[in-house]
Amino acid sequence: MYHQQVIGLVKGTSHYKVADSGDSAIASSTEKQAMSVTASLPAVRPLRSARWVPRARVVKSVRSSLTISPAPILTKLQRDCATPLPVLRHVADAMAADMRAGLEVDAGSDLKMILSYVDALPTGNEKGLFYALDLGGTNFRVLRVQLGGKDERVIATEFEQVSIPPELMSGTSEELFDFIATGLTQFAQKETGKFHLPQGRTRELGFTFSFPVKQTSIDSGILMNWTKGFSVSGTAGKDVVACLNEAMKRQGLNMRVSALVNDTVGTLAGARYWDDDVMVAVILGTGTNACYVECVNAIPKLHKPNSTTGGKTIVNTEWGAFSNGLPLTEFDQEMDAQSKNPGEQIFEKTISGMYLGEIVRRVLVRMAEDARLFGDSVPEKLLMPFSLRTPDICAMQQDSSKDFEVVGSILYNVAGVNSNLSTRKTIIDVCDTIAKRGGRLAGAGIVGILQKMEEDSQGIVFGKRTVVAMDGGLYEHYPQYRMYLQDAVTELLGDEISKNIIIEHSKDGSGIGAALLAATNSMYEH
Ligand code: BGC
């Protein structure tokens, strides 16, 4: 896992070197890619005390001396998680309807439909040195980029990634922002000759803050609520840019936040820099979210009726909060009830990397208790919330060895049990069921967004090449999930239309995207 710093420097590209790529199958390089780290954190509220305590049923052996099969539990799970075409269609339609309701008025639906104040996307003409700070998971990332305009584009990039100590994720706002500002200050001090800040200029920063923020301008926004297991006190209701500015001041760092952006918005900007057809960006990592290019005219809550400018802006949907008509199981309900944010982020809890492993774990515990999946006792280690991580289920699903040895060794490591072939097969089926539901629902969500855009302006997305930029460790590293997502999009749109819809990985686009938006909103002329 990423408990060390990752440093990269490659001239002219956005590629990087990872100093030590760690041990996780799904680990990768940004906030989203820190999914493996986040996924292992105990985001579930302990049942009795601050420390996790095994429940009473841990100590008891499983009941019945008969050999009971886990098959009925699996069959029920598959039935409850099924996403046939009508379910997908319902989710896509409901997503589109919730988008409209959220654009109508604040709190009009589950979807917050946050205005990003990004009205101008990067053009390629941006020049100069810009910084980005990416906070959205258990790591934060700082990056600098030297932009060279249309001809030279990205001349050089350099970044560092630092893991956030778990205690800071539920500490105070000041502690968290001081920690980040210290890292940023140290990074800024290492600016070498490749990166050039003209005399007398203030450094400018694009701040990617990947939580629901009600933006008040391009460079300010109020945190609405934490997600992804964060519960830092004293930040909700505050301007996160002010929090960062104060911390930078305490460090004596002279840097100005020129753009505050969600990671989806950064990804869209970063991808759009290379490809004008990018209209939507989706993050599938620890958490999930999507943003898209919207017509100003189509946002009633902006109170600019009949605007003749035909202007466009980016809207951050915060689709993680979507909940309409999802196929949920008792395991989802239990996990939600015990989470730090019960009743919230239901789509996120069904499809994103922080939760998939945990849902599988809960199913396996049930199978162990009621159907002797692991023999006469329930493995105590498996009772630990979040002990099975999404990278584990991904690795198990990809096991192509004859006896599913990878599955065996993951089970041994995570649960401390030896398993037979039939148990391993059952477990792969459980992983597949949960990943399939997640991928297909994510695909339906994407179609919902495209559908809404198309309904407003015929031909705008379905009649031409349209790119959906994807990022996040779950999307990047889970091939089956990716395949299920694509399948759902094709099923919903049909072969002809889906040929025009390019769902494309935009690796680490959000960091560069935030720096580009800092450039677009620079106080200096390019
Ligand atoms: C946050 C979003 C973010 C997404 C992906 C969600 O939990 O609410 O703002 O874009 O995670 O990082």
In the chain, the amino acid numbered 88 is: L
The verdict on the CB of residue 158 being under 6 Å from ligand 1 is no
Write the pLDDT tens digit of every residue in 91-141: 999 999 999 999 999 999 999 999 999 988 898 999 999 999 999 888 899
Which atom of ligand 1 is found nearest the CA of 211? 9
pLDDT of residue 99: 98
- Distance from the alpha carbon of residue 194 to the mean position of ligand 1, in angstroms: 33
The verdict on the CB of residue 221 being under 6 Å from ligand 1 is no
Is the Cα torsion angle 214, 471, 138, 219 positive or negative in sign? negative
Query: Best of 227, 340, 347, 474 to mutate for ligand 1, by most ligand atoms within 8 A of CB?
Result: 227
What are the phi and psi torsion angles at 249 (to 5°)? -65, -45
pLDDT of residue 128: 95
Of the candidate ranges 41-45, 84-88, 468-472, the one whose mean pLDDT is the lowest = 41-45
Kindly state the helix (H) or strand (E) to which residue 481 belongs, with its residue range. Answer: helix 479-500
- Distance from the alpha carbon of residue 28 to the mean position of ligand 1, in angstroms: 17
Q: Whose CA is nearest to atom 8 of ligand 1?
A: 211
The verdict on the CB of residue 211 being under 6 Å from ligand 1 is yes
Rounded to whole angstroms, the Cα distance separating 135 from 77 reads 35
pLDDT at 170 over 80: yes
Locate the DSSP E strands across 164-298: 203-209, 213-217, 220-223, 255-261, 278-284, 288-295
Q: 485 in helix, strand or coil?
A: helix
In the chain, the amino acid numbered 131 is: Y
The DSSP bridge partners found for residue 426 are none
Query: What CA dihedral angle connects 95, 339, 224 and 34, to 10 degrees?
Result: -80
Residue written as token pair 């990018």: 278
The verdict on the CB of residue 471 being under 6 Å from ligand 1 is no
pLDDT of residue 66: 54
What are the phi and psi torsion angles at 327 (to 5°)? -75, 100
- Distance from the alpha carbon of residue 118 to the mean position of ligand 1, in angstroms: 18
pLDDT of residue 138: 84
Residues carrying an active site annotation: 228, 263
pLDDT at 3 over 80: no
- For residue 86, count other CB atoms closer than 10 A to its CB: 8
How far is Cα of residue 125 from the mean position of the Cα atoms in its chain?
29
Share of the chain above pLDDT 70, in %: 86
DSSP state of 46: P
At residue 25 the predicted structure's pLDDT band, cuts being 50, 70 and 90, is very low
Assign 3-class secondary structure to 368-432. HHHHCCCCCECCHHHHCCCCCCHHHHHHHHCCCCCCCHHHHHHHHHHHCCCCCHHHHHHHHHHHH
Write the pLDDT tens digit of every residue in 201-251: 999 999 999 999 999 999 999 999 999 989 999 999 999 999 999 999 999
Q: Whose CA is nearest to atom 3 of ligand 1?
A: 210
- Distance from the alpha carbon of residue 117 to the mean position of ligand 1, in angstroms: 18
pLDDT of residue 26: 35
Q: Whose CA is nearest to atom 2 of ligand 1?
A: 211
Residue 201, CA atoms < 13 Å, CB-side half-sphere? 15
- Distance from the alpha carbon of residue 227 to the mean position of ligand 1, in angstroms: 7
Q: Whose CA is nearest to atom 1 of ligand 1?
A: 211
pLDDT of residue 63: 57
Say if residues 213 and 271 touch (Cβ distance below 8 Å).
Answer: no
pLDDT of residue 58: 42
pLDDT at 41 over 60: no
The verdict on the CB of residue 264 being under 6 Å from ligand 1 is yes
Say if residues 266 and 517 touch (Cβ distance below 8 Å).
Answer: yes
pLDDT of residue 134: 95
What is the gyration radius of the CA atoms in the chain, in angstroms? 23
Orientation of helix 421-456 relative to helix 71-80, angle to 10°: 0
The verdict on the CB of residue 318 being under 6 Å from ligand 1 is yes
The dihedral region occupied by 256, where left means phi > 0, alpha psi between -120 and 50, and beta the remainder, is: beta
Residue 217, CA atoms < 13 Å, CB-side half-sphere? 8
The DSSP bridge partners found for residue 293 are 314
Q: Whose CA is nearest to atom 7 of ligand 1?
A: 287
- Distance from the alpha carbon of residue 290 to the mean position of ligand 1, in angstroms: 9
In the chain, the amino acid numbered 222 is: I
- 375 contact partners, CB below 8 Å, separation of at least 6: 62, 417
- Let me know how long the chain is: 526
Which atom of ligand 1 is found nearest the CA of 228? 7
Rounded to whole angstroms, the Cα distance separating 51 from 41 reads 13
- Distance from the alpha carbon of residue 208 to the mean position of ligand 1, in angstroms: 11
Q: 73 in helix, strand or coil?
A: helix
The verdict on the CB of residue 263 being under 6 Å from ligand 1 is yes
How big is the CA angle at 432 (ends 415 and 366), to the nearest 5 degrees? Answer: 45
